[in-house]
Amino acid sequence: MSNTVYTACFSDNNDNDFFIVCGYLEYNHAINNNIFNYLLHGTEGVDISLRYTKEHITLLLLSYDKHKVKHIIEQLKRCNVKFIECIETFDEYVFLDDVVTLQTDYQEFSYCGNAMGCDFRLFHYWLHHKERDNCIYQITIHHLETHNVKKLQRIAQKYICYLQIENILPHSSAIQQYELLSRPLDRYWLANEVIFFTNEQSLYNWKHAIDDTFAHTSTGACFNQPPLISNYQLDSLILGYHPMRDELRELENRQQTVALVSSLFSQQEIDFLWNESLRLNKQNSLPASTTGKKKVFISYALSDYIEAQNLRSALEKEGFHCWMAPEDINKTNLNYPSAIIEGINASSALIVVFSEHTNNSIHVPKEIDLALSQKLLIIPVRLKNIMPENDLQYLLRLCQWIDKYQRPNKEVIKEIITRLKYCH
């Protein structure tokens, strides 16, 4: 092991030794992208924890293979990662004193005694919360090996068949569960999210804001509260040891399987989190030139969040000011319905990010109806060759569609901008 890097050694519940090194990265986009690409594609068998503070990103690497850790250190040194060199500094960077936590937990959801998965991401709330600088967000990701992916696929598919045969879920909830249980087909990152707070009041404020938003976006999925637990602190959590990695060895029940599937991140989600976090740390507000323009309201189903956020980023680069839940709700002191109404009233156009998920959304039809009542320009952008159903079929019947599928993204953005110019 390198003489200049401190490597901590701990034991897991089975008395197996694992090794941790700690580094930190400044918010430099070009360098950090190189680092991140290497971490994702060159560190198999290593748990990666990214801990975002106001000043920098703390990087924790955990592995049972000491030689693999040594190799990773040498590679990352070439990318100018600064590694901790002594135990005192290691403790200062890694161990957090007097903190309370808010952590994702997918273990408890059920409906009529049957396990349910929840499509929830804590980073959606953290990225755009108005008090983001007053907490620390940490995500630990563990790459699934091929045999574990196949194991999850088999058990998840069996459970889908069971739900279809028993027909115990409401239609919209059943569709959401089928989509969620299909995640192992294209998602290979087991992720664990946690936010650290220095006091109970901050935790309470965040929890209240998340509960309020969740209650207005997930009522159709039989969920009463988001999959979060608070004040749950273990050294293993702070060290970046993934709490569910051992459960991959023996999947004993459906609840466990559904919880694992719910926490799977796609490559697209991981990339998005990384790039958005860097962007927001470099630029916390829109350029002054956009503040005089009316907003573009982006309406979307929760499962299409990343597509909606990518669209927002592209439009804001072109000088448009966009409004989108939940981040713009978090910037206000309003409850969810009031913030939506205010956002639409302040907008001159509404873009509908349309997919198969939109047909099952409770809130998208309401937002379109409000926008029509305010005589906003409505621009539906189809992600797939899917037609609107039920209320959406009526509300969107006179709108001119923009098809995003099978077209270059630049071409789609150009067409949207052309439409928007007529309403500013």
> Comparing 46 with 218, which gets the higher pLDDT?
46
Q: Give me the CATH number covering residue 335.
A: 3.40.50.10140
C-alpha–C-alpha distance, residues 279 and 192, integer Å: 22
Confidence class of residue 289 from pLDDT cuts 50, 70 and 90?
A: very low
Does one domain contain both 207 and 114? Answer: yes
Domain that holds residue 341: 285-423
> Contact 58/64 with Cβ under 8 angstroms?
no
Q: What is the pLDDT of residue 139?
A: 93
Q: What is the pLDDT of residue 109?
A: 76
| DSSP codes of every residue in 179-222 | HHHTGGGT--EEEEEEEEESSHHHHHHHHHHHHHHHHHHSGGGT
**Pairing between strand 82-83 and 57-63?**
unpaired
Number of Cα atoms under 13 Å in the Cβ half of residue 116: 24
Instruction: Report helix, strand or coil for 44.
Output: coil
Give per-residue pLDDT as tens, 334-388: 778 888 998 998 899 999 999 988 988 888 999 999 999 888 999 999 999 989 9
Q: For the residues 119-141, what does the mean pLDDT come to?
A: 84
Does one domain contain both 105 and 188? Answer: yes
Q: Give me the CATH number covering residue 26.
A: 3.30.70.2750
What angle (nearest 5°) sits at the alpha carbon of residue 159, between those of residues 155 and 165?
Answer: 145
Does one domain contain both 116 and 230? Answer: yes
What is the domain count for the chain? 3
Give per-residue pLDDT as tens, 7-43: 888 887 778 888 999 988 877 655 666 777 777 776 7
Give per-residue pLDDT as tens, 62-94: 988 888 888 888 888 877 788 998 998 899 889
Question: Which of 284, 312, 336 is the C-terminal boundary of a domain?
Answer: 284
Does one domain contain both 73 and 128? Answer: no
Does one domain contain both 325 and 256? Answer: no
Give per-residue pLDDT as tens, 299-311: 998 888 889 989 9
Does one domain contain both 87 and 103? Answer: no
Confidence class of residue 285 from pLDDT cuts 50, 70 and 90?
A: very low
Does one domain contain both 272 and 124? Answer: yes
Q: Report the chain's mean pLDDT, rounded to a whole number.
A: 82
Does one domain contain both 275 and 377? Answer: no
Does one domain contain both 280 and 377? Answer: no
Does one domain contain both 124 and 258? Answer: yes
Q: What is the pLDDT of residue 354?
A: 95
Q: What is the pLDDT of residue 381?
A: 95
Question: Which of 75, 95, 115 is the C-terminal boundary of a domain?
Answer: 95
> Contact 186/200 with Cβ under 8 angstroms?
no
Q: Comparing C-alpha atoms, which of 22, 18, 85, 40 is closest to residue 241?
A: 18
Question: Which of 248, 267, 284 is the C-terminal boundary of a domain?
Answer: 284
Does one domain contain both 131 and 219? Answer: yes
Q: What is the pLDDT of residue 167?
A: 83
Does one domain contain both 210 and 64? Answer: no
> Is the pTM for the entire model greater than 0.75?
no
